[in-house]
Chain A
Amino acid sequence: MEKDDAIEVLLVEDNPDDTELTTHALTEGNKTIRLLHLKDGVEALNFIYAKKTYENQKIQNDLKLVLLDLKLPRLDGLEVLRKIKEDERTATLPVVILTSSREKRDIAEAYKLGVNSYVVKPVGFDNYVKTISSLAFYWCLVNEKPV
């Protein structure tokens, strides 16, 4: 993959409606954002660590943001987060949990595992777009990470 085509944001989300809404909101303020959407945790880890169908790519530690839902097929969001933060090659990757859950246990567990931020999916279209646009702007254009 050429540097200029490199993926900036990885969205891991299995719900088609939420995927459509999040993709629209993420690209609303930044049409050129390079986004990849995957539907389950195992596929996300295969992509990040260049395994299986991605084995001829490099490890994806240049991503500006990994946006993870909590409930995912095969491997849930917290397990994906745990793996990313445990592995020193990817520990500095910014990971944001984007979920419908306001459960205190989910929030606490995510922070314990080293999540950078936890965002509850807002209700209502306008609110959703505003929140996710702010999220994309912050992590893609304001936050810095080591190369």
Chain B
Amino acid sequence: MERKRGIEVLVVEDSVDDSELTEFAIAQTKNNIQLIHFSDGVDALNFIFGKKKYEGQEIQKGLKLVVLDIGLPTLTGFDILRKIREEHSTKMLPVVILTSSLDERDMSMAYELGANSYVVKPNEFEGYMKKIGSLAFYWSCVNERPYQI
């Protein structure tokens, strides 16, 4: 995969429509945010941990944020979050859950597993642009990412 320079945000989302909307909203912020998209949890974890076809790459060190949907093929967003928090190299990596679910149990589970934030996808276009634009700007340009020491 050709990796361009810029701020790197990893989005794991299986809905084509939602992926396109998210990508468009992030591009609109014009903050040189480089978005990497996966539609499957296993592939996303291989990428984050430099396994299989990503072997030899210290990928997670360049990431500023991981955005996870909950309902995903093969592994759920919660499985990915759990794995990220279990591993020493990624346990402090900012993770935002981006989902359609307003279910309190999902919110509680997300925070219990160590999500930094939980965002519900708006239904209409303008709201989506504004919310995702705010999310991308906040985590890329306002938040200070953790260092490993």
Contacts and interface: CB of A to CB of B under 8 A. Distances in A.
Contacts of A112: 92
Interface stretch (B1-9, B35-43, B133-141): B133-141
A135 B112 CA distance: 23
B61 interface: no
B147 interface: yes
B143 A117 contact: yes
B138 A108 contact: no
A144 B120 contact: yes
A145 B118 contact: yes
A88 to B, nearest CB: 9
Nearest to A135: B142
A92 B111 contact: yes
Interface string B106-117: 011001101011
A143 B114 CA distance: 15
A17 to B, nearest CB: 21
B119 A144 contact: yes
A105 B102 CA distance: 36
Interface of A: 91-92, 94, 102, 104-105, 107-108, 111-112, 114, 116-120, 131, 134-135, 137-138, 141-147
15 contacts: A91-B111, A91-B112, A92-B111, A105-B149, A107-B144, A107-B147, A117-B94, A117-B117, A117-B143, A131-B142, A134-B142, A135-B142, A138-B138, A145-B107, A146-B108
